[in-house]
Amino acid sequence: MNRYLDIAVNLLGSSLEQRLDEVITDAQAVGVSPLILIGSELDESARCIELCQQYPKQLYTTAGVHPHHASSWQPESEARLRQMCQSDSVVAVGECGLDFNRNYSTPAEQRRAFTAQLALAVELQRPVLMHERDAHADFIAILAEYRSDLPAALLHCFTGDIAQAESYLALDLYLGVTGWVCDERRGHALAEAVTVIPENRLLLETDSPYLLPRTLKPKPKSSKNEPKYLPHIANHVAQLRGQSAETLATQCYNNSLKFFGLE
């Protein structure tokens, strides 16, 4: 059986949280373990850490502030996040970045929180897991100031085209690919872009419970994505790249272990 590591699971506050044991067991049954939970703000990050401690080696988490929640970043936030990052359960700073699509937080607030978290990741020499939507130029400009001092950096849920992929790869980023690539309506650009991502920079994720692969048959009654569907995404990506499913799965699994320091 191929092995996989789901690098992005939005567990807390989702339908998955109520079925956690089942979600973990179903994923393990198809080779998907461990799972990386996403901390999108500091209270949630703290709760993720507590949950990971109940499921050692099965769950790990990021800790950080998503751009949607950037307005919550206060002077004391840095010290609190620094303390969280001391936990063995925390494998990356984030999810941080920029999202100018809806601007739940102002662009200025987003830039402030993003910059602060990048600086902390540099200080602690921790990898950073990032989000970007409709903010490509600003994101690149800010990240470029810190990239050379970061041990590793990942843009998760990458949905862009070849040109965007190449601009991120020029900064030596890892790129996380979701079931978006299986969407015949809006995934064409990503389907092309996955062919240019170097094998040592490609990671796989479900971004559960979002982005259920449209090519999944039969479609789950819940219409919710789960880590157990990661092999389906992997097989689709392998086909697009002209690789065997086993080769792709092994490479992405090893990339994930290396990025999160779980080797």
Q: Give the burial class of 160: count Cβ atoms within 10 A of its Cβ; 0-12 exposed, 13-18 middle, 19 or more buried.
A: middle
131 annotated ligand binder: yes
The whole-angstrom separation of Cα 165 and Cα 104 is: 26
The Cα-based distances of 153 to 103, 129, 203, 232 in angstroms read 23, 6, 12, 25
207 annotated ligand binder: yes
Radius of gyration of the chain (CA): 17
8-state DSSP, 70? G
* DSSP per position, 233-261: HHHHHHHHHT--HHHHHHHHHHHHHHHHT
Q: Which amino acid is at 224?
A: K
Show the DSSP H helices in the chain as ranges: 20-29, 42-54, 77-84, 107-124, 136-146, 162-169, 188-193, 230-241, 245-260
The upper half-sphere exposure of residue 93, i.e. CA atoms within 13 Å in the direction of its Cβ, equals 30
95 annotated ligand binder: yes
Backbone φ and ψ of 36, nearest 5°: -105, 115
Contacts (Cβ under 8 Å, ≥6 apart) of 47: 12
The whole-angstrom separation of Cα 126 and Cα 85 is: 8
Q: Which residues are annotated as a binding site for a divalent metal cation?
A: 95, 131, 156, 207
Q: Which residues are annotated as a binding site?
A: 95, 131, 156, 207
